[in-house]
Structure 1
Amino acid sequence: ETTQAAAVFDSSEIPPIGIDKYLMRLSATFRCSDATFIAALVVVDRLLEYDTGRLPLTMKNVHRLFFASLVAAVKYHEDEVYSNGHYAKAGGVHLREVNRLERVLLVALDFDLRVTPEQYRLYEASLLGVCKSSSKDMPLCLAAPGCPKKQPMSVAVTPASTASTEASSDMGQSDAPAGPGGDISASSTPVRR
């Protein structure tokens, strides 16, 4: 089962979009709270520890691991969520792939997405420590509450004219849908739970 879970998160090749740009894109298009980004980090770590750490973090799976963790964290921690179709466009993957990644993640974690206040504070402090010692504006640092470099979540997204070219290979899939073109909010309305 672990091999199957690991295989689900692996891209066929290393995605050409760097993880920093990918996280900035997710930040701009998911429109979720900073706390949810931190919760997603907790979920990623929990998934990597699944089955005594047999799921290694690699350049072929880091994008999908964080993407699936963020989708699940948004649904668990946010009051307003978008459809999986919205998240598919934001992440540059097909809807069926979003559903599969989310399902495998939830089963692997036994549907436990809770983040204790202690875990949250630990991850937040660690993230802020990394951010303060880094000269780069890393996306997760910018999402951390209290980050001195924090910018608004309205980060520019790839223009529609180049989005389909970039997104077709964002996640190492030859048949991936066009990624977010400009502002995808026009076609997506959050659902209040």
Structure 2
Amino acid sequence: MAELERPHVMPKVITFLSSMLQRVSESNDVSRRFEPQKISVFHGLTRPTISIQSYLERIFKYANCSPSCFVVAYIYLDRFAQKQPSLPINSFNVHRLLITSVMVAAKFMDDMYYNNAYYAKVGGIITTEMNYLEVDFLFGLSFHLNVTPSTFHTYCSYIQREMYIESPLKLHCCFNEDDPTHQQQQLAV
């Protein structure tokens, strides 16, 4: 008899992240269409056919990382966008940025995680590409991986607030971690 698969309850953070990243990437596709952009290892030649929501659900299902790992991945994406303004999140790079940020967050946060070859398979890319993405992402973050409890709590509070209040004008929220009050700043990644 085949073993029944345990159902995965999709955390709300997945829905929030997919919705937010969909808005950001679509907005940047339109608003930065005529601006020169740096092409990086994160850019695909074409837009992936899988939706951001389905891609995040796939990562959640197979990567077996904690829901808090997705919050940390969001923090990393936010930091990356702040440090790399010439690489805005768009429909050509959002999937590669997602798999990379989740993998890096899992390695940093979770006690158990998979190797790069496994994450590459989950992400639909080859291992060599996953390795390049990880290195570029880490350098893009200036290896700033630590997330203080205060910063984590601030992002969680923001996510909770945004899940209850749809705000179409806010594309992305950044927090200045050096500021103890964690005042919100708006940034269109």
Give matches, 1:14-29, under 5 Å.
Answer: 14-29=47-62
Secondary structure class of the residue paired with 1:90: helix
Q: Distance in 1 between matches of 2:158 and 2:125?
A: 30
* Count of equivalent residues: 130
Partner of 1:64: 96
Partner of 1:90: 122
Q: Give the letter aligned to residue 46 of structure 1.
A: R
Most deviating of 28-37 and 118-127: 118-127
Deviation, 1:72, is: 0.7
| Equivalent pair of 1:68/1:101 in contact (CA under 8 Å) | yes
Given candidates 58, 63, 69, the residue that maps to 1:36 is: 69
Deviation, 1:80, is: 0.6
Gaps of 5+ in 1: 135-193
Q: Distance in 2 between matches of 1:20 and 1:64?
A: 14
TM-score by length of 1: 0.64
Residue by residue, what CA displacement relative to the aligned partner does 1:135-168 show, whole Å, maximum 9, x if unpaired?
xxxxxxxxxxxxxxxxxxxxxxxxxxxxxxxxxx
Gaps of 5+ in 2: 1-36, 167-189
Q: Distance in 2 between matches of 1:24 and 1:132?
A: 21
Partner of 1:173: none
Secondary structure class of the residue paired with 1:9: coil
Given candidates 104, 124, 132, the residue that maps to 2:164 is: 132
Q: Which runs of 4+ in 1 moved over 3 A?
A: none
Partner of 1:106: 138
TM-score by length of 2: 0.65
Secondary structure class of the residue paired with 2:72: helix
Superposed CA RMSD: 1.5
Q: Distance in 1 between matches of 2:163 and 2:121?
A: 29
Secondary structure class of the residue paired with 1:8: coil
> How high is the sequence identity, in percent, across the aligned residues?
34
Residue by residue, what CA displacement relative to the aligned partner does 1:80-137 show, whole Å, maximum 9, x if unpaired?
1111111111111100111000000111222221111121112111212222346xxx
